[in-house]
């Protein structure tokens, strides 16, 4: 009978086995999560800095001028034709419109 003896390989460091996985998570964090957090923070600062007279664009595509800021996290926006006012959630504002860019 032929008996073959296999020599077992020495155990490698467990940190080396998890290294590629940790590297992938680090790449995802720096390429995906950090920019999303920055964008969310910038959006929150924009919403907190809204004031009467700002021209805003909502996430629904409505463009208007802020007439009033209410305490219950809503705003009143005047849209064209003049005199039409809409009350909406402050969070529905997607961006501020630069009046100089419209010219």
Tens-place pLDDT, residues 89-99: 999 999 999 76
Q: Which residue has the tokens 């490698």?
A: 12
* Domain of residue 73, residue span: 51-103
Q: How confident is the model at residue 5 (pLDDT cuts 50, 70, 90)?
A: low
Q: Indicate whether 66 belongs to any domain.
A: yes
Lowest mean pLDDT among 1-5, 14-18, 23-27, 45-49: 1-5
Q: Is residue 10 part of a domain?
A: no
Strand partners, 86: 77
Q: How far apart are the first and last CA of the chain?
A: 93
Assigned domain for 4 exists: no
Q: How confident is the model at residue 17 (pLDDT cuts 50, 70, 90)?
A: confident
Q: What is the pLDDT of residue 46?
A: 92
The predicted structure's pLDDT at residue 61:
92
Do 87 and 40 share a domain, yes or no?
Answer: no
Both 74 and 86 in one domain: the answer is: yes
Per residue in 32-76, pLDDT tens? 999 999 999 999 999 999 999 999 999 999 999 999 999 898 999
Residues 24 and 72 in one domain: no
Q: Is residue 64 part of a domain?
A: yes
Q: What is the CATH number of the domain that holds 59?
A: 2.30.30.140
Burial class of residue 83, CB neighbours in 10 A (0-12, 13-18, 19+): exposed
């Amino acid at each position: 009978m032929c008996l073959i003896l296999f020599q077992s390989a020495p155990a490698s460091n467990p940190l080396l086995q998890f290294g590629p996985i940790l590297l992938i998570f680090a790449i995802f964090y720096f390429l995906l999560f950090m920019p999303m957090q920055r964008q969310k923070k910038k959006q929150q600062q924009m919403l907190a800095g809204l004031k009467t007279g700002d021209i805003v664009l909502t996430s629904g595509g409505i463009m208007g001028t802020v007439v009033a800021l209410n305490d219950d996290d809503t705003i009143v926006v005047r849209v064209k034709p003049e005199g039409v006012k809409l009350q909406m959630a402050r969070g529905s504002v997607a961006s501020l419109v630069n009046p100089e860019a419209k010219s």
